[in-house]
Amino acid sequence: MGRPILLSNGELHVGLNQFGLVHDFYFPYVGFENHSAGSNLRHKVGVWVDGKISWLDDGTWHVRMRTATGALIGHTRAHNPAIGIILEFDDVIDTSVSVFIRNVHVINTADQERNIRLFMHQAFAIGDSRSNTDTAQYLPDSNALLHYRGRRAFVIAGEYASGEPFDQHSVGIFGIEGREGTYRDADDGELSGSNVEHGRVDSIIRFSMNIAAHDSSRVHYWIAAGTSIREALYIHKSVQEHGPEHFIRSTAEWWYEWLEPVRLASKVMAPELRESFIHSAMVVKANIDKRGAVIATTDTSMLNYARDAYAYCWPRDGAFALWPLIRLGYTSEPLRFFEFCRRALHQSGYLMHKYLADGSLGSSWHPYVHGDVSAPPIQEDETALTLFMFSQFYGVQKDSKLLTEFYDSFIKKMADFLADYIDESTCLPKPSYDLWEENFMTTTYTTAVVYGALLAAAELAETAEDSDSAVKWRSAADDIQQAAHKHLYNRSRQVFYKGIRCEDGRIGYDETIDNSSFFGAFMFGLFSLDSDEVKNSFETLRSTFKLGKHGYGLPRYEHDNYHRTRPDSVGNPWFIPSLWAAQYANETGDDMLADEIVSWVHSMADESGMLGEQFDPDTGVSVSVSPLVWTHAEYMATLLDISDRKGSK
């Protein structure tokens, strides 16, 4: 079901599920060390009234969720007409310290006064550990609960509007020794007051309120996170001292200031698209770790069905994600990303498959041995796109310090690798894995990005007065372009090949129509925008996928099996290739098609404004992860393209 609400400060990152419950709790990196990655680790919320307990995920609550337009503050409204209760949550992670705050508005819709008890439950596997080594205990001097393991500590507390702390608590174990969870202690409305437990531990606190008919009351709840108990307690005491409202207000002010360039750019957009543009910017920002990693998504739903999720930094995804921020003039996020990539750069000048947020190498299914060929387990486009995007960043900033700092240690290493990693028989880049991470071959898309990156690097070399490198890289790019015109266009199908493979001196062609081949060829200048090859390729993919006749959702490529929901379809529609088509339409003056596609994408967002990776063509329901940062960034980039073109007319 994805994550309708994401909250983050670049260190603490929380994902709320469709019930308004904490589903993912990352600290101290965005996307790394998920302390709630498991079906029995959801932080439950319950209401006891009239002698019965009701939990938000029991199927009796109607839940609606959204993010504020001008700040990364979540709004959740949960209504249970059967028991006459409405809960309204304002949720925030402070931008200066790592604390997750929930302002809970409890509304009694009944015609009589009632005693209503709100229960807030939390369960962690600290460090994403499945071993039974956590500790939870009640801290009477701090009016709080503490969960800790090693260098991770979480302090849980809350208070009434009067400032008084929660009135009951309990600590216990779950998932072992036949224990379902300490939240069961709330079934009778009373908590046992257990003060400490170790192993696989959870805890719960209670707020008891007498609320008059058609009246309401408020409570605040928070979790302070630290890399030591001392740090977590310091943050907790700061919340007690200044009040939760102070942190909510200051966070709203921070986001208002950060979003200023986004708001300014949105003013020229269609009114119905402005809010989604701003929301997309917040989604992108929420998935950027403060040390530079851009995480593809923190949605862990896939862990229920697959071996892994997407909580990694793919250099490609990160570069695409930062492109709209670069265009809007942001500096710190792109700079930290390029610093992150420089730290990760292999000594041979290439970037690996993907990385964890702390910079360590992520999981991979790419081998070093490919038949009779030994080669790095890489997707070469990731190295090339990162280099290309750095040149765009420099072009916007025009800061000579950037070139001084990055030229020898980053630009030159990557450009030399790209220029040297050439197949002598084809004069094209050597085979590597494609951007979809499936095929080991020389693809049209990767060729195009390498070409664009080498030309961009040559311009940087000239600025750095390194004429020898400029000549080398430009010459390599020219050779690649000439070879591409010879090998990469399928004249019989009037479309770009997906790619080629060379075996025993013979070239084999993959004729699969892949939208990335078309996008790469025109976007990075491998083929000119007005060339017959580009024009014909677009018409071929347009007719093959019936773009505009039966909708605007395009698959990645013909017969894509990844999460395919209908065997007879060409593949599930993805938002990214659809937005590529909008970018091409915009570039070629087809304003109507470009506008229709972005309006369609806007309409396909879920109720909370999130855009996922792909969706079921029959139901429109998101398949795989949601949100996907690359999708939101591509949506932003497309809207900026359209705005730029319309503004130039």
DSSP assignment string, 27-85: EEETTEEETT-SGGG-B-EEEEETTEEEETTSS--EEEEEE-SSSS-EEEEEEETTTTE
Which amino acid makes up residue 244?
A: P
Mean pLDDT of 244-268: 97
Q: pLDDT tens for residues 422-460?
A: 999 999 999 999 999 999 999 999 999 999 999 999 999
Q: What angle do CA 611, 270, 521 make, to 5 degrees?
A: 60
Higher pLDDT, 206 or 648: 206
Number of Cβ atoms within 10 Å of the Cβ of 329: 12
The pLDDT score that the predictor gives to residue 21 is: 97
Distance, CA of 123 to CA of 3 (rounded, Å): 18
Buried b (16+ CB within 10 A) or exposed e, 597-628: bbebbbebbbebbbbbbbbbbeeeebbbbbbb
The pLDDT score that the predictor gives to residue 131 is: 63
CB 453 within 8 A of CB 398: no
Give the list of residues 6+ apart from residue 358 with CB closer than 8 angstroms, or none: 29, 32, 291, 293
- Which residue shows structure tokens 């029995």? 40
CB 496 within 8 A of CB 422: no
Length of the chain: 649
Q: pLDDT tens for residues 550-564?
A: 789 999 999 999 999
Provide the Cα torsion 263, 264, 265, 268; round to 10°: 100
Domain boundaries, the chain: 5-258, 320-328+369-544, 547-642
- 126 φ, ψ (degrees, to nearest 5): -65, 135
Q: Tell me the pLDDT band of 338, cut-offs 50, 70 and 90.
A: very high
Judged by phi (left if over 0) then psi (alpha if -120 to 50, else beta), residue 8 lies in beta
| Both structure tokens of 221 | 């709840």
The class level of CATH for 5-258 reads: mainly beta
Mean pLDDT of 226-251: 98
Is the full-model pTM beyond 0.95? Answer: yes
Percent composition of the chain: helix, strand, coil (DSSP 3-state, to 5) = 35, 25, 35
Q: What is the CATH number of domain 320-328+369-544?
A: 1.50.10.10
Q: Tell me the pLDDT band of 582, cut-offs 50, 70 and 90.
A: very high
Distance, CA of 414 to CA of 405 (rounded, Å): 15
Which amino acid makes up residue 175?
A: G
